[in-house]
Chain A
Amino acid sequence: MTTSFMGELLTATHNFGTAPIRAVSTADTFRAALYLVSATINASTTVYSSTGEVTGTGYSAGGIVVTNATPPTATNASATAGVAFFTPSASLTYTSVTLTTAFDAVLIYNASQSNKAVSVHTFGSQTITAGTFTLTMPANTTTTALLRLATT
């Protein structure tokens, strides 16, 4: 499989089946919602749901918008291997919130495409009291980017 193809998957260039009709060619709007430790949120998740989502002062259901200033990158590692990757261009910051029930996951989902799920990322259990929760993204590289498609 070509590296360019993997990169183009991340920009919805190819369609082997039935896909939504896109009104614009610009990037979709993605959002990030936090989930409780008790929530079932994993690779089987298909769409955003408020079930199991955190609640509390300063937090709105659905979470926050993901900053998306850097487009996906596709890089050849060799003639037979390549990586397409993407990382949000800014940290996810939930300011002035009180989230007293422990949470440990964030769901990235596509608010422009019926809230379809993109990825789930877990971390150590947290609570926030009259404070700020900041989730800083990993480095946007072939080995650490938040989303990666790779040939081996």
Chain B
Amino acid sequence: MALVTTTKGDMDESLLVKQEGTVDNDNELTTWVEYWLDGELVHRSAHVTLKKMPSFAGGEAASF
């Protein structure tokens, strides 16, 4: 039995509807997971992996 932390407390995963997604582009690889209960979002987590600096960022590589 896997427990999921939700807005309604820890709940058995089997009671929830799970949705997952992935975004993969030049800048990031993102995965997310959502759990729904009776049409209500009760949990959402996301994991963003930066692949490189965004082109505009203040941390952009400076060339001299």
A129 with B46: CB separation less than 8 A: no
A135/B43 contact (C-beta < 8 A), A146-B53, A151-B64 known: no
Counting CB contacts under 8 A, is B60 at the interface? yes
Q: How far is the CB of B56 from the nearest CB of chain A, in Å?
A: 6
Partner of A138, one of B41, B45, B50, B63: B50
How many of chain A's residues have a CB under 8 angstroms from any CB in B?
Answer: 39
Interface-centre pick from A108, A128, A129 (highest chain B CB count, 10 A): A129
A150/B61 contact (C-beta < 8 A), A121-B53, A124-B23 known: yes
Q: How far is the CB of B58 from the nearest CB of chain A, in Å?
A: 4
Counting CB contacts under 8 A, is A136 at the interface? yes
Q: How far is the CB of B7 from the nearest CB of chain A, in Å?
A: 5
CA distance A149 to B61 in the complex (A): 5
Of A18-26, A60-68, A69-77, A112-120, the one contacting chain B is A112-120
Q: How far is the CB of A30 from the nearest CB of chain B, in Å?
A: 12
B52 with A138: CB separation less than 8 A: yes
6 A-B pairs (CB sep. < 8 Å): A128-B44, A133-B46, A138-B51, A138-B52, A144-B52, A152-B64
